[in-house]
Structure formats: structure tokens, C-alpha cells
Amino acid sequence: MTQVTLENLTRRFGDVTAVDNLNLEIDSGELVAFLGPSGCGKTTTLRMIAGLLEPTSGDVKFDGASILDTPVEKRGAVMVFQQHLLFANMNVEKNVGFGLRMRGVDRAAIRKRVAEMLDLVRLSGFEDRRPEELSGGQQQRVALARALVVEPRVLLLDEPLANLDANLRLEMRDLIRNIQRRMQITTIFVTHDQEEAVMLADRVALMFDGVIQQYTPPRAFYERPANAGGGALLPQRQPAAGRQARRHGINRAGEPQAWRRRRRAV
Ligand SMILES: Nc1ncnc2c1ncn2[C@@H]1O[C@H](COP(=O)(O)OP(=O)(O)OP(=O)(O)O)[C@@H](O)[C@H]1O
Ligand SMILES: [Mg+2]
């Protein structure tokens, strides 16, 4: 359980200010969706949290302590990329166990942990397959298992569902939510897709031009978009619900039903 704080976080690339004095606090075990248009600084923010990129200024804190001087492998933040970058020459078992081997964990323990993770993402029995022998969704689940196996403090998911078809997206979304809940990992989930953000997140951070414009629970986000920019990102409210809409969790009023379901689940 780790609280993440971003303080005046800024990153410039030459003349471009990709992330601009950004402040955000993410509670322990919370799932926050970063929602915003292409180029607004989502990936740049994640890379700074993960330790893959140094901020120009500002701070990243885990449980109140700066981690900027902590090297990537010791931060306990893992990132899953849009292109999931499995090792093509390794089978599923070796891919998932990679982080543990790097940490010098003994072989028997690695086997056991990998088996647990594959069970979690429902890929038991796929140990010996290579990435090229898997579907896109299966590869994505291997990438998720590989990230989770090291028991990260913070999980950073950069559009992890972008390459999947609609049905698989829904399935993976639920899987991620369930695992995140069970393991109580503080998680940032980047997406272009407002519906995905609203359905998945405890809070939605709406990002434009390197700043967070709005940071609210999904319901408030839907009802009171911050400004014209925010409103433009939202789908138009349409009373035409029907089966198609309900399949995507939209009720007859054209609202997402995520919060209602969640409340019942608690
Ligand atoms: N290494 C880099 N060098 C120069 N400019 C960069 C670099 N990385 C990112 N940028 C610029 O910073 C801005 C933010 O990029 P970033 O990748 O964070 O956007 P994003 O919100 O993740 O977009 P997308 O949704 O398309 O992935 C963009 O204008 C981008 O061109
Ligand atoms: Mg990006």
C-alpha cells in the first residue's frame, strides 16, 4: 500500500513543456485513470514516476518520501506499455519470471510465483508458449503477470488495452480491476477512452497540455466536466440506451453505471 504524490512535477523537452507543474495525490490502493488527448503528457508523467525519465523540476513521493534518487529497479513501480514488449525468445514462464530472476530469487520460488501469477491472469498451461504463439489478449495478460509478479508498490499501465478488440477490452478491464482490488496496488491507468476511465477508476484525472484540469470520482466527472475542453472529451448524452449501450455499461439516461455497481460490490 503506497500513497503517490506528484509535486510541481515538470518536464520540458527543448521548447516543449510536456508536463507543466503538475500536482496530484493518489491514495494507497487507489486506481486513478489519466484521461486526455494525444500529446498531453500522460506517458511522460508515468515515465517520471517509474524512474525512466528525470523530471526537469518538481518531485515524486511514495508515502511522503522523495524517490527521485532511488534507481528504477528499487522504486517498486512497474510500467506496462502499450506495446507490451515481451521477450520474443523466451517462453511465457521465462517472461513472467524475468523480474524475479533479476532479483536473484531461487528457482523453486520463481516457479511457484509464476504459476500463481499465470493462474491469476488465467493462463495456466501456457508456460511453454512463445509470445508469437499467443493472441494479442494473451500477450497482454502475460505482460500484466510479468509486472505483478514482482509485487510492485505502484502499477503504471500505459494504455494497456489499446490494441485489443472491444470484447477483449471489457474482459481485460474487469480482470485488471479485480486483480488491482485483490492485491491493493496503487495504480495509474492511462487511457484515451473516457468510458474506460469512468468504468474502471476510483478517480479520473483529466489532463490537458501537461496539467491536470480536473480530478474527481467518475460520477462527478461525468456530471460536471471541468471546462469546455473537458466537455469536448465526453460523449454526448444520448437517451438511446438499448442492448448495445447496456453492454458497455451505459444506462437509459446515457450515464455509465460503474459507480452503482461498485457501491453494491462494497
Ligand atoms: N523524448 C522526447 N523528446 C521530445 N519531445 C517529447 C519526448 N517525449 C515526449 N515528447 C513530447 O511531449 C509531449 C507529451 O508527450 P507524451 O508522450 O507524454 O504524451 P501522451 O499524453 O502520452 O500522448 P499519447 O496519448 O499520444 O500517448 C508531446 O508533445 C511529445 O511530442
Ligand atoms: Mg502516451
Distance 209 CA to ligand 2 centre (A): 13
Q: Whose CA is nearest to atom 3 of ligand 1?
A: 13
Residue in this structure with the C-alpha cell 470484447, named with its chain if needed: 167
> Does any ligand 1 atom lie closer than 6 A to the CB of residue 38?
yes
Distance, in Å, from the CA atom of 13 to the CA atom of 186, rounded to the nearest integer, reads 28
Q: Whose CA is nearest to atom 18 of ligand 1?
A: 41
CA torsion sign for 142, 175, 81, 4 is negative
Cβ proximity of 207 and 183 under 8 Å: no
Predicted pLDDT at 84: 63
Domain boundaries, the chain: 4-237, 238-266
Find the length of the chain: 266
Q: Note the ligand closest to the C-alpha atom of 44.
A: 1
Distance, in Å, from the CA atom of 198 to the CA atom of 256, rounded to the nearest integer, reads 7
Relative to beta strand 154-158, strand 65-66 is unpaired
Cβ proximity of 93 and 127 under 8 Å: yes
Predicted pLDDT at 171: 84
Ligand 1 atom closest to residue 19's alpha carbon, by position in its atom list: 14
Q: How is domain 4-237 classified at the CATH fold level? A: Rossmann fold (3.40.50)
Distance 78 CA to ligand 1 centre (A): 19
Tell me the mean pLDDT per 10 residues along the chain, length 266.
96 96 97 94 96 97 96 90 82 95 93 93 94 88 91 92 80 88 93 88 94 90 59 44 44 43 42
Ligand 1 atom closest to residue 192's alpha carbon, by position in its atom list: 25
